[in-house]
Structure 1
């Protein structure tokens, strides 16, 4: 009887916890969704203008978010393209090639970098990357390229740490069987280990993109925060998150400028859901 009561209590507490989490997630989706759609329903703004116009000035009925959308995707995708190969090389070295002592030193160091606050990366960008870009390409140094480099530094430890775990999760007998058949270590890594860990490696990249897309402070400090459609990586720009964080405290609740910012928040939420859906699809494909 005591064991049954304990089991019942355990199931009840677990069910309550799951119910609370589901309720909070649903409440966030409903609240942000309702606020984000207010601009289109109550203020009668055009959905087409929001996604395809480049002029953002809600105080004068201009709510074109194209520049922020393009900048956000450009910064995120470029940072992922740069960081992913670097992370893969580091992960292969730590998990497959480095000696035990070196691996035990490097991996904790990478994990420490994962927890560094984003404002620290922003300050490094201001002190090092902005002057470097200014000296190399001219201009002020504040640009999309600078934001890309800062985001690359930010997501590199995260992606690397996840990739190391993914490679270490590949069973050792895969490697042993390949080496026993006469394959070299490089061939084993390329043909066996990387293929077996491919879904988990893709998941690591998507996690990095998720963090990059949602980052606000570090990018805001170095990108220039100019509301325009960029024409190159050296252009100044503004992402969805930087515009949202800078503007939300300067608007009045219920006005068009405030509702427009909530629409940006809804786009960010939907993109987070899409990234999570991609992770689920990749994981599902791995199980098959």
Structure 2
């Protein structure tokens, strides 16, 4: 064969490196997918055992308000009702998001539209510092400061959904603020210039143009913060009271899915009803995290369509 033709048909060194890089990338992606599928399968295997092996009714599990797997009711059925934890998890999640969202959006507007230089020099490092604080520190501050203040103002023990809301509000505030800042910075500058050229004031431009254009990104940050709040365990466990009871108000001791899991998973025997019920809570928590991620993707696609 002609040497020139042979050299042209033979793969070059760059082509071999590219092929090798594609193979390594594919193996890494396959490993990630395998790990995710394995986690879902493992949690689902143990979580569904409550309903298939222990014969617990799914509706009773989601709707009953008594959580005591070791105790049976008058009909001989175990008291496995996850409603108090579900209400507690959604309560602290939504309330913390409601409190954090306006403050985060206001801080993002200040950092991007009003004083970007001062905001990037002072506020941005503060936000990054808040992100790096461990959860146990937030929980300890909540236990030492928030709980006594709530006890003094509202009475009771101070533990409850309100205390968990204040702690989670501070924890998700940096996340929502950072994503809101990125969303507002991504709004093209000619949007602002066009609004000002048409006679719009500064605040009209921010409210009617910048915020509306950046709304998909802001909503993504809010949902992302809610996902973090929903899955937070240690800080909430320290201030919510860990009482597996349906909360009567915001200052009565309550519990969340994560607080019951962290406090009970080490005190049960693998394969027992108590252990399977906790795995069912973990499965529910995993499904809710998946739902938050799907909502984030949906919001992102709606923003791209616009």
Please state which band the TM-score falls in when normalised by the shorter chain: over 0.9
Which position in structure 1 is the counterpart of 2:66? Answer: 55
Cα-to-partner distance string for 1:230-261 (whole Å, 9 max, x where unaligned): 12111110100000000000000110000000
Find the aligned partners of 1:26 and 1:102 in 2 and give their Cα distance: 42
Q: Distance in 1 between matches of 2:256 and 2:162?
A: 13
SS in 1 for 2:48: helix
Deviation at 1:184, TM superposition (A): 1.0
Match of 1:129 in 2: 146
Q: Which residue is equivalent to 2:262?
A: 245
Equivalent runs, 1:141-156 vs 2, <5 Å: 141-156=158-173
Moved more, 195-204 or 135-144: 135-144
Once the two structures are superposed, residues 189-218 of structure 1 have per-residue CA deviations (whole angstroms, 9 ceiling, x without a partner) of 111111110100000000000000000100
Partner of 1:18 in structure 2?
Answer: 29
Aligned to 1:282: 299
Q: In 2 relative to 1, CA 150–7 (structure 1 residues): closer, same or farther, beyond 3 Å?
A: same
Change (3 A) 1:2 1:99: closer
The C-alpha deviation readout for 1:171-193, integer Å capped at 9, x for no partner, is 11111121122211111111111
Unaligned runs of 5+ in 2: 1-11, 72-77
Q: Is residue 211 of structure 2 the alignment partner of residue 194 of structure 1?
A: yes
TM-superposed deviation, 1:99: 4.7
Alignment match, 1:28: 39
Matched ranges for 1:41-52 at <5 A = 41-52=52-63
Q: Which one of the candidate residues 258, 261, 273 is aligned to 1:256?
A: 273
Q: Distance in 1 between matches of 2:154 and 2:42?
A: 44
CA distance, structure 2, for counterparts of residue 252 and residue 107 of structure 1: 47
Aligned counterparts of 2:122 and 2:171: Cα–Cα separation in 1: 20
Hey, which bits of structure 1, 4+ residues long, moved more than 4 A? none
* Cα distance in structure 1, aligned partners of 2:59 and 2:92: 23
Which of the two has higher C-alpha Rg? 2
Aligned length: 288
CA distance in 2, matches of 1:139, 1:183: 51
Tell me the secondary structure at the aligned position of residue 59 of structure 1: strand
> Is this contact kept in 1: 2:157–2:252, CA < 8 A?
no
RMSD value over aligned CA atoms? 0.9
Once residues 65 and 282 of structure 1 are traced to their aligned partners in structure 2, the CA distance between those partners, rounded to angstroms, is 30
Matched, 1:107 2:118: no
Please state how far the C-alpha of 1:102 moved relative to its aligned partner.
3.9
Q: Name the stretch that deviates more: 202-211 or 60-69.
A: 60-69
